[in-house]
Structure 1
Amino acid sequence: MITIGELTLVLLAGSFLTAIFVVTVSFYSIKRGHFYFPRLVKSGLVMSEGMVKGICNFFSLDDKELTAFFIRLHNTMNSKAFSKIESSKRAVFLPQCLRNSQCPANLTPEGLQCRRCGRCEIGQNIDRLENLGYNVWIAPGSTLIKRMVIKYKPEAVIGIGCLVEVKEGLDLLDKINIVGMGVLTMKDGCVETALNWNDLFEVALLGLEDK
């Protein structure tokens, strides 16, 4: 029992030190605008996410800023692999919250079907993405995303949403070995949120610059 107790203490101490390392390096990276020890930081954050957030709360640090940093780090580490995948094997999932409150889109088994009514910018940007070869869906929820991934088996996915949605989506894609890239909306909410479409196309055009 003593040995088990000692091992438990060692593991807890290791987890705590890992979390301290992740928080310190992450916020230093944010301040400097450069990723330091990216693979170690990503692995450490995955292993000790709860403790990392606890440390942030204890020191009154913004854990949202840390989550945004993780998403940028994730994108940077995946960009090379993403660039090598053909656009026809990539998928984009747009959240329904981007649409206008008076949106006339029909809900189908494969998500909302945009009617190009011009009330928002979704229609014209779907056309741009599809012209690049992308498969695009407007998702009313995560269930639709999971169903389309199983049905169409994309090799790469760009997910758009708020911090929590994108973080959870990237974690899921990592688990099922799909290259994931995240793009954050400009504000949170369930109705008429906003997206900087240039941020999306900056990711979408990776490996397709000539096209």
Structure 2
Amino acid sequence: MVFDGLAIFNGIFELLGVIFLIFIALGILILLTAIILSYFLVKKDRLIFPKLFLYIMDNFYSILLKIFLLVGTEDTFYKIGLDFYNKYYYDKFKKAKNKVLILPHCLRDLKCPAKLGADGIQCVFCGKCPLGDIIKTAKENNYDVYVVPGSTFLKRILKEKRPDGVFGVACYSDAFHGMNYLSRKSIATQSQPLLKDGCINTSVDVEELLRRLKDNNKKK
């Protein structure tokens, strides 16, 4: 009788274990479905349960990434995240009164004569890279512009300038983590990913970036 009782007890635990694994599998499936569905809806300029998805993306993106890697790539996940943040904060960003544009120093030409100062790289508009044209257009549209060599500058800029809108240009990974950081601080954010990343000689779609800088400054 004792052995029968133990067998029943073990059987119950095995059943509970199976049920638990089923719930985990269903949870993963639901999250994957939500991510994929959200991606296609974002592409169609539609957001489903935006505040709920924002909360999940802000606080549990590392878990979402691990799950997403079961069916996709890391870059694809970051693209989905960037598209979502750009769509979610689009209207709020346009209404921001104190906007800054953060540009990566890797867009500079290898022979760039600009020097590093307290507020980042001080462009001299030599024409060797696209930064000069980008900076001019940004300033014409009421952005404070910073060409920075790292995230430390961004945190100092946020502390000193207290912007209510931040537009960043970076590789997919850095852009996503930057937007995630800003979103958790309730700062409206936009981003433009680099076409070619790396530490030097990177590139960005300048025409698209200039268009967005102008568009995001238009008042409805």
Is the 8 Å Cα contact of residues 19 and 51 (structure 1) preserved in structure 2? no
The aligned residue for residue 79 of structure 1 is 90
Shift of 1:134: 1.2
Structure 2 residue corresponding to 1:172, chosen from 178, 181, 193: 181
The structure-2 alpha-carbon separation of the partners of 1:114 and 1:65, relative to structure 1 and needing over 3 Å to count, comes to same
The structure-2 alpha-carbon separation of the partners of 1:127 and 1:28, relative to structure 1 and needing over 3 Å to count, comes to closer
* Whole-Å separation in 2 of the counterparts to 1:96 and 1:139: 6
Identity %: 22
The aligned residue for residue 8 of structure 2 is none
Q: Does 1:191 align with 2:203?
A: no
Amino acid at match of 1:173: L
Q: Does 1:121 align with 2:130?
A: yes
Shift of 1:141: 0.5
Unaligned runs of 5+ in 2: 1-12
Please give the TM-score of this superposition, normalised by the length of structure 2. Answer: 0.79
* Whole-Å separation in 1 of the counterparts to 2:58 and 2:185: 15
Q: Does 1:21 align with 2:33?
A: yes
Amino acid at match of 2:147: I
The aligned residue for residue 202 of structure 1 is 211
**Which deviates more, 127-136 or 47-56?**
47-56
SS of structure 1 residue aligned to 2:217: coil
Shift of 1:178: 1.4
Unaligned runs of 5+ in 1: none
Structure 2 residue corresponding to 1:107, chosen from 109, 116, 119: 116
Q: Does 1:37 align with 2:48?
A: yes
The structure-2 alpha-carbon separation of the partners of 1:204 and 1:145, relative to structure 1 and needing over 3 Å to count, comes to same
Is the 8 Å Cα contact of residues 100 and 119 (structure 1) preserved in structure 2? yes
Is the 8 Å Cα contact of residues 78 and 176 (structure 2) preserved in structure 1? yes
Larger Rg: 2
* Whole-Å separation in 2 of the counterparts to 1:137 and 1:50: 29
How many residues of Structure 1 are paired with residues of Structure 2 in the alignment?
Answer: 200
Is the 8 Å Cα contact of residues 41 and 48 (structure 2) preserved in structure 1? no
Q: Does 1:181 align with 2:190?
A: yes
**Which deviates more, 100-109 or 18-27?**
18-27
The structure-2 alpha-carbon separation of the partners of 1:51 and 1:155, relative to structure 1 and needing over 3 Å to count, comes to closer
Shift of 1:144: 0.6
Is the 8 Å Cα contact of residues 100 and 163 (structure 2) preserved in structure 1? yes
* Whole-Å separation in 2 of the counterparts to 1:45 and 1:133: 30
The aligned residue for residue 138 of structure 1 is 147
The aligned residue for residue 57 of structure 1 is 69
The structure-2 alpha-carbon separation of the partners of 1:18 and 1:197, relative to structure 1 and needing over 3 Å to count, comes to same
RMSD of aligned residue pairs (Cα, Å): 2.7
* Whole-Å separation in 1 of the counterparts to 2:41 and 2:140: 37
Amino acid at match of 2:74: D
* Whole-Å separation in 2 of the counterparts to 1:47 and 1:209: 31
Please give the TM-score of this superposition, normalised by the length of structure 1. Answer: 0.82
